[in-house]
Each structure stands twice: as C-alpha cells, then as structure tokens.
Amino acid sequence: MSRTITLVTGASRGIGKAVAKRFAKEGHFVIGTATTEKGAELIDEYLHDTGGIGRVLDVRDTEQINKLFEEIESVYGAVQVLVNNAGITKDGLLMRMKDEDWDDVIDTNLSSVYRMSKRAIRGMMKARRGRIINISSVVAKMGNAGQSNYAATKAGLEGFSRTLAREIGSRQVTINCVAPGLIETDMTDELDERLLNSMLDAVPISRLGQPEDIAAAVSFLASDEASYITGAVIPVNGGMYM
C-alpha cells in the first residue's frame, strides 16, 4: 500500500515538529517545512529514518507554495493530509499596535491557510479523499488582551474551516481545527513568567500542555476513524476554556 502524503507547515520546532514526527512514526510520507535552509535541514535530519523530507517555505509567498506543491506532486504524488500549523504572534494592545504587526500576523496565520488550502484541495477533490487540519488557538473563542491580531486570525480560520467544510464535504475531503491552550513551545517561552503563572491558574489540569498532546488530536483527525468529522474544532487546552 502506498504511504499517505502529509504536508506540515512550520515543522522545524514546537507543535509542527511533534505533528510531523507523529505522522512519520505512523508511516506517512511527511514533508515538513521551515522558513530557513537550516530549519529544513533539521527537519530532514529528524525525518531521515522514516524517509520524510524538509523543505523551505514561507507561507506568505504564493509562488513558493505553488513551487513546493509542484515538486511534491511530480515526485511523490498529491498531498493527502495538509496541516496548516505555521503561525506567529506580534502582541500588543490595539491602541499601540503597529499596522505592520497587524498585517504580518494576518498574512502569516490566516491568508496562508487560504493559499495553502486552495492549492491543496485541487488534488484532494480529484482523489475524492483528503484531510486539512488547521491549528487554531483557545484565544479564538476566549479572546486575550494584547492579541487582537492573533485572535482575529484564529477565529477567522475556524470560520474559514466551517465554510470550506461545506464546499468540499461531498468529495469526502474534511477540514477541521485543533485549538490548543497553553503549550510548551518557543511561543510560550516568550511569555513573561508572572503572566504565564497567572494564566496557568485558569487551567484545571494545572500545567502547560506538550506539543505531543496536540499531535495526538491532529493524528486522530487525519485517521480513517475521523472520516465523519468535518468543520469541527477540537479543544486541547487542559480545561482552560470549556
């Protein structure tokens, strides 16, 4: 049987790396992306034993996206599972937010999902099978002071997913989100310790989640067992929001 071809954006570290590793372990052929050559080499290294590969991709760049899909399709076959994981934060209260910080977060976290999904569904619709999994955030529903740009992208991608689910469901292509809470990665390392501790007070499970906790939910959504789930958001947040 041929291996499932799975593309994970932002696989150089954090959640994307855990997702790529999990799929590789499950036997998928994984293409993981990073923004730099060094990051792509790192992905090549940790996927080496399973035959997966690392590639450079800036999800803000349509030309790079098209090139990568063309390479994957011509050498390996159409992408069957797409995980839109790449994301950034540029926090600040709205009163002081710079226009470029608003634009950059929207472009990287939300418009990227439009670009990637639009390109990926071509092959999925043809194959009458496919999975798109978007990494949202607990703040899509909760809101978080200082993250109006970030929360807007995550709420936006949940609405996008529900809409695309209606457009592509009849072809057995599903699109869902996983909404992490506080997960231990470089992104949460940037948080001030006092702020982090006060946020943890609101987490019934009383600890940060691990990237592997998110990878487990993503893996489930890509599995055959999840073929009747679409347009859904799975919260993985230790009870931070329920």
Active site residues: 150
Asked if residue 39 binds ligand NAP (CB under 6 A), the reply is: yes
Tell the smallest beta-carbon distance from residue 182 to ligand NAP (Å): 5
The site map against ligand NAP for 80-119 (x = CB under 6 A) is -----xxxx-------------------x-----------
Q: What are phi and psi of 174, to 5 degrees?
A: -110, 155
Q: Indicate the residue among 125 and 241 with the shorter CB distance to ligand NAP.
A: 241
Tell the smallest beta-carbon distance from residue 21 to ligand NAP (Å): 13
The site map against ligand NAP for 117-156 (x = CB under 6 A) is ------------------x-x-------------------
Distances (CA, A) of 198 to 113, 194, 203: 32, 6, 10
From the list 5-13, 119-127, 194-202, 228-236, the region that binds ligand NAP by CB under 6 A is 5-13
Asked if residue 58 binds ligand NAP (CB under 6 A), the reply is: yes
Cβ contact 23:81 at 8 Å = yes
From the list 29-37, 72-80, 160-168, 220-228, the region that binds ligand NAP by CB under 6 A is 29-37
Rounded Cα distance, 47 and 41, in Å: 10
Tell the smallest beta-carbon distance from residue 174 to ligand NAP (Å): 19
Of 52, 156, 180, 238, the residue at the interface with ligand NAP (CB under 6 A) is 180
Q: Indicate the residue among 131 and 154 with the shorter CB distance to ligand NAP.
A: 154
Which residue, 187, 218, 221, 226, is CA-closest to 21? Answer: 218
How many residues form the binding site for ligand NAP (CB under 6 A)? 29
Q: Indicate the residue among 4 and 12 with the shorter CB distance to ligand NAP.
A: 12
Sequence-ordered list of residues with C-beta below 8 angstroms from that of 49, at least 6 positions apart, any chain: none
* The residue type at 226: A
Rounded Cα distance, 166 and 174, in Å: 9
3-state helix, strand, coil in the chain (%, to 5): 50, 15, 30
- Measured between alpha carbons, how far apart are the two ends of the chain, in Å? 40
CA dihedral sign, ordered 41, 42, 45, 46: negative
Cβ contact 211:184 at 8 Å = yes
* Residues at the site binding ligand NAP, with contacts judged by CB under 6 A: 9-10, 12-16, 34-36, 39, 57-60, 85-88, 108, 135, 137, 180, 182-183, 185-188
